[in-house]
């Protein structure tokens, strides 16, 4: 296929905007980018898609999300509102994940992926929990990813909060899924090994998980999201969270550490040395009132910081905007968190993380990279250059401008019409199911 009449944003190391260009891809890969006439002449046989002067750029990447939380939308928490992160977990997320059935796991994943396609998020790194629909849950999600056509990295969160048997079943589910993918690889799906957080994991379970997780697979875990995680770790081990996880060999160059809000300098040094990835989710941090991580310091120390959405809507540019505003406010300093720093995280580091996970270039428009593309109808009324693009994204871009979404060379949304998913029937079914899940959830409060 050849897409013509496009201004192409490449997100290369030295970012380029190719004006009035064309992009050619065959199968799942980008073949060539260049001037319109030259490309049309050279690739006469290819099917043509006309971008009508819109921008084409790599699809957004979400480095940490939770499909399973979809049915929390609009759901009331009984009784008094939770007062901190631990209460939010106890009153909202844990009773909700215990309420999930296999059907709910499936439809939560489906509705999140419709949202992702519509809003141009083409790769998602998911962290799943459904203690009463645990076995084969990652297969259920993988099937939905096969259907949607998106790219997703999956894991099951191991935790002791439901007893040893469930912790072991969680470990087994990660191992089973990793082995199944080895036996029968799926081009758009990868696995990490999920752990909930230090505060719900005993030393024994950490040891078992470490032993079970193959060396080449990274752990995906929440780290010091709230202060309670640090307090618990100090009580349990006399070590801070990153020290404790490091001692258990959980960190490493493939590990994904979500949040890292409360890590101190010493922990940042441990994380930097381990080469683990950190993901930043400012909307979630604000929603849970846990504070914000010192991203500037982490970046200075050489930590690879990417961005996720922690289950918020798959509008990653909203996450950019939240980062841009929140760090200025919390530090009372408008010099903090500039837009190019955010592009460094959300566009560049996320692409590096996903490229590592897949072993193929994702998140850039260069020959040989995966053809994960979005067409964006943005009409700038001031000059737009590669240098000021991040500020245009913060102040001008909006996910409603996304007209088409392509993943691995397949068109998943064209002119705002979904190709791979039947949105109406999926959302109708989800609505019926969500009522059942809300009732399960409420019964856990009786």
- Closest contact distance (angstroms) between CB of 280 and Zn ion is 12
- Closest contact distance (angstroms) between CB of 157 and Zn ion is 9
**Spatial CA neighbour of 386 closest among 39, 120, 55, 123:** 55
Which position's Cβ is nearest Zn ion?
310
Neighbours of 83 (CB within 10 A): 10
CA 115 – CA 121 distance, rounded (Å): 8
Nearer to Zn ion, 267 or 310 (CB): 310
CA 199 – CA 181 distance, rounded (Å): 30
- Closest contact distance (angstroms) between CB of 350 and Zn ion is 16
SS3 4: strand
Nearer to Zn ion, 10 or 137 (CB): 137
Nearer to Zn ion, 129 or 389 (CB): 129
Cα separations (Å) of 121 from 59, 257, 339, 375? 6, 20, 19, 12
Spatial contact of 171 and 196, defined as CB atoms under 8 Å apart? no
Spatial contact of 95 and 64, defined as CB atoms under 8 Å apart? no
CA 275 – CA 118 distance, rounded (Å): 33
Nearer to Zn ion, 153 or 258 (CB): 258
Stretch that binds Zn ion, among 71-79, 168-176, 303-311, 396-404 (CB under 5 A): 303-311
Full DSSP string of 334-354: TTSS-HHHHHIIIIIIHHHHH
- Closest contact distance (angstroms) between CB of 152 and Zn ion is 15
- Closest contact distance (angstroms) between CB of 197 and Zn ion is 9
- Closest contact distance (angstroms) between CB of 237 and Zn ion is 22
Cα separations (Å) of 101 from 152, 201, 332, 423, 426? 21, 24, 45, 21, 16
Residues 257-296 that bind Zn ion (CB under 5 A): 258
Nearer to Zn ion, 7 or 310 (CB): 310
CA 259 – CA 225 distance, rounded (Å): 5
Question: Strand order of the sheet with strand 121-126?
Answer: 60-65, 121-126, 151-154, 189-191
Spatial contact of 400 and 387, defined as CB atoms under 8 Å apart? no
Nearer to Zn ion, 257 or 374 (CB): 257
Nearer to Zn ion, 114 or 256 (CB): 256
Q: How many residues bind Zn ion (CB under 5 A)?
A: 2
Two tokens, residue 442: 């409420």
Two tokens, residue 223: 């780290």
**Spatial CA neighbour of 197 closest among 319, 297, 310, 113:** 310
The binder of Zn ion chosen from 229, 310, 319, 372 (CB under 5 A): 310
- Closest contact distance (angstroms) between CB of 319 and Zn ion is 13
- Closest contact distance (angstroms) between CB of 66 and Zn ion is 6
Nearer to Zn ion, 258 or 276 (CB): 258
- Closest contact distance (angstroms) between CB of 127 and Zn ion is 6
**Spatial CA neighbour of 415 closest among 148, 50, 146:** 50
- Closest contact distance (angstroms) between CB of 118 and Zn ion is 22
Nearer to Zn ion, 245 or 402 (CB): 245
Stretch that binds Zn ion, among 100-108, 111-119, 208-216, 256-264 (CB under 5 A): 256-264
Stretch that binds Zn ion, among 15-23, 34-42, 212-220, 255-263 (CB under 5 A): 255-263
Nearer to Zn ion, 21 or 194 (CB): 194
Phi, psi of 5 (to 5 degrees): 55, 50
- Closest contact distance (angstroms) between CB of 310 and Zn ion is 4
CA 284 – CA 89 distance, rounded (Å): 13
Strand partners, 370: 29
Spatial contact of 138 and 173, defined as CB atoms under 8 Å apart? yes
Nearer to Zn ion, 31 or 258 (CB): 258
Residues in contact with Zn ion by the rule CB under 5 A: 258, 310
């Amino acid at each position: 296929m050849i897409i013509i009449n496009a201004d192409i944003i490449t997100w290369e190391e030295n970012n380029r905007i190719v004006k009035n260009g064309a992009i050619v891809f065959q199968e799942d890969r980008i073949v060539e980018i260049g001037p319109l006439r030259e490309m049309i002449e050279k690739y006469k046989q290819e099917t043509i898609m006309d971008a009508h002067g819109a921008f084409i750029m790599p699809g957004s990447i979400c480095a940490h999300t939770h499909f399973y939380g979809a049915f929390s939308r609009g759901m009331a928490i009984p009784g008094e509102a939770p007062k901190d992160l631990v209460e939010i977990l106890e009153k909202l997320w844990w009773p909700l994940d215990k309420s999930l059935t296999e059907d709910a796991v499936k439809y939560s994943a489906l509705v999140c992926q419709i949202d992702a396609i519509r809003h141009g998020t083409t790769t998602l790194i998911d962290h799943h929990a459904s203690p009463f629909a645990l076995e084969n849950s990652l297969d259920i999600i993988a099937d939905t990813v096969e259907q949607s056509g998106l790219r997703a990295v999956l894991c099951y969160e191991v935790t002791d909060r439901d007893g040893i048997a469930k912790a072991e079943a969680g470990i087994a589910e990660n191992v089973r899924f990793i082995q199944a993918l080895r036996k029968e690889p799926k081009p758009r799906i990868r696995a990490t090994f999920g752990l909930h957080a230090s505060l719900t994991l005993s030393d024994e379970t950490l040891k078992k998980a470490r032993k079970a997780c193959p060396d080449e697979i990274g752990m995906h875990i929440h780290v010091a999201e709230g202060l309670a995680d640090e307090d618990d770790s100090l009580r349990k081990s006399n070590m801070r969270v990153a020290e404790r996880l490091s001692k258990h060999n959980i960190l490493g160059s493939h590990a994904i550490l979500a949040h890292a809000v409360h890590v101190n300098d010493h922990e940042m040094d441990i994380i930097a040395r381990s080469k683990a990835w950190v993901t930043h989710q400012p909307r979630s941090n604000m929603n849970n009132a846990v504070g914000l991580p010192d991203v500037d310091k982490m970046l200075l120390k050489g930590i690879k910081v990417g961005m996720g959405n922690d289950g918020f809507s798959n509008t990653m540019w909203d996450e950019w905007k939240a980062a841009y505003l929140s760090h200025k406010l919390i530090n009372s300093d408008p010099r903090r968190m500039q837009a190019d720093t955010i592009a460094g995280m959300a566009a560049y580091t996320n692409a590096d993380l996903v490229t590592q996970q897949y072993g193929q270039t994702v998140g850039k428009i260069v020959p040989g990279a995966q053809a994960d593309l979005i067409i964006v109808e943005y009409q700038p009324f001031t000059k737009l250059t590669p240098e000021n693009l991040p500020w245009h994204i913060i102040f001008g871009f909006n996910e409603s401008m996304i007209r088409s979404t392509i993943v691995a060379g397949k068109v998943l949304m064209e002119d705002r019409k979904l190709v791979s998913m039947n949105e109406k029937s999926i959302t109708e079914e989800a609505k019926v199911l969500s009522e059942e899940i809300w009732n399960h959830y409420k019964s856990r409060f009786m």
